[in-house]
Amino acid sequence: MQQDFNAYIFSRSDIGEISAKDFIDGKARVIYGGDKHVGVDGFFFKKSWWNENKNKFPCDAILGETEWDTIYRYIIKHSTANYIEKRVLKHVYHDAKWDINSPGGKNNRKIWDLIKNREEF
């Protein structure tokens, strides 16, 4: 993250169970097709850019619930051309636990519907 970007959008690759030592030694086994969801697990921002743009991000979005990453990704892509998006994170595969009809999922889907219809950022 030493490159000069306003925002970093990091998706993940699912990997099999692994010990910390094997992970550090680069022995992670990517599970291809195990991660059909191309959601984002990490967002990082240049502090000055975040301070100027944080008001664009809804404070009532629930992180970790469905669509929170869609909301953040969309706002970033419509607020700056100076971002990078890469699949660089590793995530031990497990069945999804989130639910689009949970209270948090419903909340975030409502926010997403409002965000994607905004004309300006």
Give residue-wise pLDDT tens across range 45-93. Answer: 999 999 999 999 999 999 989 999 999 999 999 999 999 999 888 888 8
Question: Could you tell me if 71 and 112 are in contact, meaning their C-beta atoms sit under 8 angstroms apart?
Answer: yes
Say how many residues make up the chain: 121
Cα distance between residue 104 and residue 108, in whole Å: 6
Give residue-wise pLDDT tens across range 3-57. Answer: 899 999 998 888 899 999 999 999 999 887 654 556 788 999 999 999 999 999 9
Cα distance between residue 14 and residue 83, in whole Å: 23
CA distances (Å), origin 1, targets 7, 25, 39, 99: 10, 21, 20, 32
pTM for this prediction: 0.82
Helix (H) or strand (E) holding 15: strand 7-15
Cα distance between residue 57 and residue 75, in whole Å: 7
Please report where in the chains the tokens 């999804």 appear, as a residue: 96
Question: Could you tell me if 91 and 12 are in contact, meaning their C-beta atoms sit under 8 angstroms apart?
Answer: yes
Amino acid 121: pLDDT: 66
Amino acid 41: pLDDT: 85
